[in-house]
């Protein structure tokens, strides 16, 4: 994964959620994680607050890339 610019949206602009995801780590492997917030910047780009389970790093804001981050069901199928 590549580092991205640091962003910190204002709390009223964030839609807080609990969304399980699967994340492409870029080396052919995938890891489970979760999105805890959604935000859209003034340019219209969609951001997610992403935490990767085995990454050991705290959650951080990243531009949402549906090719790299796959949304998983929250409840049963």
Contacts within 8 Å (CB) and 24+ apart, 35-38:
35/69, 35/71, 37/61, 38/14, 38/64
- Residue 44: the pLDDT is 95
- Residue 2: the pLDDT is 52
Q: How far is CA 75 from the centre of its chain?
A: 19
Full-model pTM: 0.84
- Residue 8: the pLDDT is 86
In order along its 77 residues, the chain shows pLDDT tens digits of: 555 566 789 999 999 999 999 999 999 999 999 999 999 999 999 999 999 987 678 999 999 999 999 999 988 76
Closest CA to 19 of 60, 62, 73: 73
In the chain, what are the domain boundaries? 14-71
């Amino acid at each position: 994964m590549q580092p991205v610019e640091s962003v910190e949206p204002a709390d009223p602009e964030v839609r807080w959620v609990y969304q399980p995801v699967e994340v492409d780590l870029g080396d052919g492997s995938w890891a489970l994680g979760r999105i805890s917030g959604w935000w859209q910047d003034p340019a219209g780009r969609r951001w997610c607050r992403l935490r990767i389970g085995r990454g050991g790093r705290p959650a951080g804001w990243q531009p949402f890339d549906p090719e790299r981050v796959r949304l998983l069901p929250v409840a049963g199928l």
